[in-house]
């Protein structure tokens, strides 16, 4: 089964937008285009249901129902329970709240392992607990490859290890970490796993039950939807945490980790992402399937599409002796988020030429400062990053390659 790309692109208004014509979008790891299903739901909510939800008059009742539907459907796609899903303003804020909620679970002198491959969202808030009696143990990346090594991790555990925080996939290295295996090792020490899935989830939602992480986070503005952070917290954990919301929210698990209060309209419109997934599923497959099964089928469909393009782009990049590719230069085990360093030309000059080729891409540290520090790569100017998704076309890849040939 091959992804019907024209069908897919027709679901994203940006691809039909006149002002974007000719521009190829390669900054998807910064945020994806939103799908039309989500935009329509958001507009409808703002038009018809922008009232305080959960009161017994029709506009309000429907607002509450739309929000509940998003929790329920998202949980079904991720193969967990609706009460385990939390929508906060962003992943950065969700981790910040988590760190405060989890600190009282631990004693002074307890240890947490934090990777140095993370975006700062899953790094800084944990390290700040050093000021509150927690010992921080750093899991460094390999200086050359940027990869996290499991043998290194094994040497970091102790009988006081309470948690391991690491990314499912780094937003600059692109390598997919074996979450299941890492969780198994952490659980053997009784430690919890907190996984930043922000750079992974846009390429296919994980089956959270199978994955084994205790807490998993990703950002919905990178998965075709609103600017919200989604956080999965295993149900037996939340009541061990400290309530971070109003005192009278104690025990109300949907509120305890979201002190900012929910963005009703955006939450109500989250289902639009799943409408899009359902539409792609129904367009390609005839068999009836529950959402988690649809998700598995969509994952292969998206992955095959991404792989074909990744093969072409990495093939070109490997053929050059004037660049360094961060992470593995092969398709297997990585997502299409590729960072490079030009070896013979000035990075900023290369970047400027690429934008002149109507390429939308990024340059800098992408808040992945610690992996760059471990790899001795200066934050300024940082790296050049191209990231794409299943909706990207081979024509856009060729545009990127033509731009690179010119710029390098």
Ligand X SMILES: Cc1ncc(COP(=O)(O)O)c(C=O)c1O
Applying CB under 6 A, which residues contact ligand X?
Answer: 29, 90-92, 119, 121, 167, 171, 196, 198-199, 219, 229
Strand partners, 166: 195
Decide whether 167 or 272 has the Cβ nearer to ligand X: 167
8 A C-beta contact, residue 387 and residue 338: yes
Decide whether 96 or 281 has the Cβ nearer to ligand X: 96
Decide whether 229 or 272 has the Cβ nearer to ligand X: 229
- Annotate 253-318 with DSSP letters as a single string: HHHHT-TT---HHHHHHTHHHHHHHHHHHHHH--S---HHHHHHHHHHHHHHHHHHHHHHHHHHHH
Alpha-carbon distance of 203 to 28, in angstroms, equals 10
402 is written with which tokens? 């033509």
Decide whether 86 or 294 has the Cβ nearer to ligand X: 86
66 is written with which tokens? 């739309």
8 A C-beta contact, residue 49 and residue 59: yes
The least distance separating ligand X from the CB of residue 245, rounded to whole angstroms, comes to 19
The least distance separating ligand X from the CB of residue 60, rounded to whole angstroms, comes to 29
Decide whether 219 or 292 has the Cβ nearer to ligand X: 219
8 A C-beta contact, residue 153 and residue 138: no
The least distance separating ligand X from the CB of residue 101, rounded to whole angstroms, comes to 17
The least distance separating ligand X from the CB of residue 219, rounded to whole angstroms, comes to 4
219 is written with which tokens? 């950002």
Decide whether 73 or 119 has the Cβ nearer to ligand X: 119
Decide whether 219 or 266 has the Cβ nearer to ligand X: 219
The least distance separating ligand X from the CB of residue 230, rounded to whole angstroms, comes to 9
Query: How many Å from the N-terminal Cα to the C-terminal Cα in the chain?
Result: 37
The least distance separating ligand X from the CB of residue 203, rounded to whole angstroms, comes to 12
Percentages helix, strand, coil for the chain (3-state, rounded to 5) are 45, 15, 40
The least distance separating ligand X from the CB of residue 404, rounded to whole angstroms, comes to 23
Alpha-carbon distance of 35 to 11, in angstroms, equals 6
What does the chain come to in residues? Answer: 408
* Three-state DSSP state, 20: helix
């Amino acid at each position: 089964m091959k992804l019907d790309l024209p069908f897919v692109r027709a679901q994203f208004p940006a691809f039909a937008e006149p002002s974007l014509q000719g521009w190829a979008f390669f900054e998807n790891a910064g945020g994806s285009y939103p799908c039309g299903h989500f935009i329509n739901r958001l507009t409808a909510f703002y038009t018809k249901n922008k009232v305080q939800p959960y009161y017994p008059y029709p506009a309000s009742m429907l607002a509450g129902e739309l929000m509940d539907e998003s929790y329920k459907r998202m949980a079904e796609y991720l193969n967990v329970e609706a009460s385990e899903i939390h929508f906060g303003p962003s992943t950065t804020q969700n981790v910040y709240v988590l760190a405060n909620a989890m600190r009282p679970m631990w004693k002074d002198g307890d240890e947490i392992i934090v990777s140095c491959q993370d975006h700062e969202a899953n790094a800084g808030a944990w390290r700040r607990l050093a000021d509150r009696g927690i010992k921080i143990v750093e899991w460094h990346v390999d200086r050359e490859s940027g990869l996290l090594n499991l043998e290194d991790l094994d040497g970091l555990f102790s009988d006081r290890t309470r948690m391991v925080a690491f990314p499912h996939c780094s937003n600059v290295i692109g390598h997919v970490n074996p979450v299941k295996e890492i969780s198994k090792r952490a659980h053997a020490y009784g430690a919890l796993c907190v996984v930043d899935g922000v750079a992974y989830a846009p390429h296919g939602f994980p089956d959270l039950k199978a994955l084994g992480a205790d807490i998993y986070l990703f950002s919905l503005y990178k998965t075709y939807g609103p600017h919200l952070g989604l956080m999965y917290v295993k149900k037996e954990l939340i009541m061990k945490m400290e309530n971070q919301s109003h005192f009278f929210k104690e025990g109300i698990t949907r509120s305890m980790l979201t002190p900012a209060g929910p963005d009703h309209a955006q939450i109500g419109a989250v289902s639009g992402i799943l409408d899009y997934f359902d539409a792609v599923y129904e367009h390609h497959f005839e068999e009836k399937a529950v959402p988690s099964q649809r998700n598995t089928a969509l994952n292969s469909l998206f992955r095959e599409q991404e792989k074909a393009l990744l093969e072409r782009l990495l093939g070109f990049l490997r053929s050059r002796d004037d660049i360094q590719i961060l992470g593995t230069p092969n398709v297997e085990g990585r997502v299409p988020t590729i960072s490079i360093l030009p070896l013979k030309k000035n990075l900023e000059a290369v970047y400027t030429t690429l934008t002149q080729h109507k390429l939308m891409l990024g340059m800098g540290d992408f808040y992945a400062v610690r992996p760059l520090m471990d790899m001795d790569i200066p934050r300024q100017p940082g790296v050049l990053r191209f990231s794409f998704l299943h909706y990207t076309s081979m024509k856009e890849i060729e545009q990127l390659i033509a731009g690179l040939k010119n710029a390098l």
